[in-house]
Chain A
């Protein structure tokens, strides 16, 4: 066995493992964001009868008959509600239309069967329009056909706050109804803010550790590494204990008379809580790469700059800062990427106003069960993060991510 094969053979088990347990789910997630066969599979005859319809007026008699047959059958099997929910996500209001009308359609079918009336296309056209005049227009049919598309951009359109226009196309939702784009924007701004805050706090901290004598540097490094290793839940708990209304900080401020007992400050379950806790959690991720860059900078440069007549501030700005830029870039990017996908901390301490895009994704996975939309939101986030990694790779190399 050649060395090439042996080396590849050693890496192969993990490559296979990652492919199955991680890459597979990622591909599946991306697929879910644009491939949605559920309605098409639930109403196959309806979809094939609607295929040739030009979208104007009403479809053929066969479409009426197929729709009625499949509605009534699915209603009996109790699967119609699920399908109606799916259609409702494409055009809202369709759930009640389908569920309400199908009940009357089932009754009409029962009466017709007892009377021995043949239930053909013409019968169902008349019956359905009689039950609900909307079936005499194109809107509900367009909704059914749109929901039945297997390959679809609708999850992405929704994730970008587009809505269906009356003519069947898409338009941007009115400002007040936009949810996701503002939330992406907020997530971006919060991540940026947290990253900058971490940089402002972390830069002097890293500098102090890098320029302390070894013994003291080790102790100071411990103060950064202990939070890094401490459970996220522990750190989040402690911020609740510190910042809540009856918490330690408020108690202290009341005790020293800075605020009254009725003037306790709301520092948690809002954006402040998200900001403080996220900064605390992410600070080590910025300090550690900065520290490793700063440690390698010989003090001789600064000394030289000063003895050549630079003030300490000039020396700092023109000699020290440029040398730390690789660490600043790497640390900031890493912190930003971690911040943008943050879930647990905003969910626990963010309250209503401190929620980020990841919380919305979790909501659609667990509560609204709109998995296609959750997949599209996750895919958009993944696209943004991938873009950042390309930048990171250009700056420092993706295989050089350290562990501090």
Chain B
């Protein structure tokens, strides 16, 4: 507690306890992620630190697991699939989501609450239920085991992220500005491009990053609907973990951690910039 003056011994014990507990909690959050990074440079096929690694012996470290990602198509094909599916789903989700957010933010939008609930629903339905439902439905349409089916499913999961982030940038938007632009002779498209687009752009970018990250990490839909041709990175990691776990997976994991760090930094940077301008 940030309260001065009450420095009884009991309070000091509690304060130290609080600090120690928080440090332990942060270690719990971050250590499992960071521990994978040095292990991915292990020269031996073990999932634990060798004595050489602990002595910081350069011989004990190597890039062999990174090289083995590029050997054959065991990991490169899933990576390509993940990128194709992720980018396609993100484009669909971003275009539809941003348009919907613009509509929802307009004061004249009819039935806002129910439409919002409908649009958000894919994100808040337990993914196992959505996955089973989509699998049954898409199989009956012949879309199971196709890229298209998975892209559609990922797009509908990603769109709510875009709706939410774009809506946030439009909160408090003064719609009379749009009328003013129209009165000054701008057609709606010009008014949108010059007035609203710069405003919503950070939201569009963060939303699409969320949508891409969601697709890039999605596994339940892929497990139910994907065939051999649709193996994505998470799907390949799933097999890797279940069948025989090879240290290559640690190198892939490190790559995904770096990706998470980049995505996170971008979104935070956009958020701070938006907050600074507001």
A→B interface (CB under 8 Å) = 2-4, 6-15, 17-19, 21-26, 28-29, 32, 201-202, 204-205, 208, 211, 220, 222-242, 244, 246-248, 251, 280, 283-284, 299, 302-303, 306, 311-313, 315-316, 337-338, 340-344, 348, 358, 361-362, 365-366, 371, 374-375, 378, 381-382, 385, 389, 398-399, 401-403
Contact = CB atoms under 8 A, between A and B. Distances in A.
B103 interface: yes
Nearest to B263: A229
A382 B124 CA distance: 11
B48 A204 contact: no
B25 interface: yes
Contacts of A226: 30, 33, 257, 260-261, 264
Interface of B: 1-3, 5-6, 11, 14, 18, 21-22, 25-26, 28-30, 32-33, 35-36, 39, 47-49, 92, 96-97, 99-100, 102-104, 106-110, 113, 115-138, 140, 152-153, 155-156, 159, 161, 163-165, 188, 210, 213, 216-217, 219-220, 223-224, 234, 237-238, 241-242, 245, 249-250, 253, 256-257, 260-261, 263-264, 268
A303 B11 CA distance: 15
A229 B137 contact: no
B129 A378 contact: yes
B256 A231 contact: yes
Contacts, number: 292
A14 B241 contact: no
B250 A237 contact: yes
Nearest to A246: B48
A13 B110 contact: no
Contacts of A234: 33, 36, 237, 253, 256-257, 260
A3 B165 CA distance: 23
Contacts of B250: 237, 241
A315 B5 CA distance: 14
B156 A2 contact: no
Of B2, B92, B153, most buried by chain A (CB within 10 Å of CB) is B2
Of A11, A25, A211, most buried by chain B (CB within 10 Å of CB) is A11
Of B130, B137, B217, B263, most buried by chain A (CB within 10 Å of CB) is B137
Given A299-B2, A374-B132, A201 B220 contact: no
Contacts of B102: 7, 10
A6 B175 CA distance: 14
B56 to A, nearest CB: 17
Given A306-B5, A312-B1, A241 B35 contact: yes
A230 B100 contact: no
A230 B116 contact: no
A300 to B, nearest CB: 11
19 contacts: A4-B108, A7-B102, A7-B103, A8-B109, A11-B103, A11-B109, A22-B130, A29-B129, A226-B257, A231-B217, A231-B260, A233-B219, A238-B32, A348-B238, A348-B241, A365-B132, A366-B224, A381-B126, A398-B117
A238 to B, nearest CB: 4
Given A231-B217, A246-B47, A374-B132, A403 B165 contact: yes
Contact of A247 (B48, B119, B241, B256): B48
A32 B153 CA distance: 20
A233 B257 contact: no
A248 B50 CA distance: 10
Of B32, B137, B242, most buried by chain A (CB within 10 Å of CB) is B32
A237 B234 CA distance: 11
Contacts of A13: 96, 99-100
Contacts of B134: 21-22, 25
Contact of B33 (A235, A244, A338, A366): A235
Of A10, A25, A344, A385, most buried by chain B (CB within 10 Å of CB) is A25
Given A10-B99, A239-B32, A240-B241, A21 B152 contact: yes
B35 A238 contact: yes
A238 B219 contact: no
Nearest to A338: B126
A238 B39 CA distance: 10
Nearest to A386: B125
A315 B109 CA distance: 45
A25 B137 contact: yes
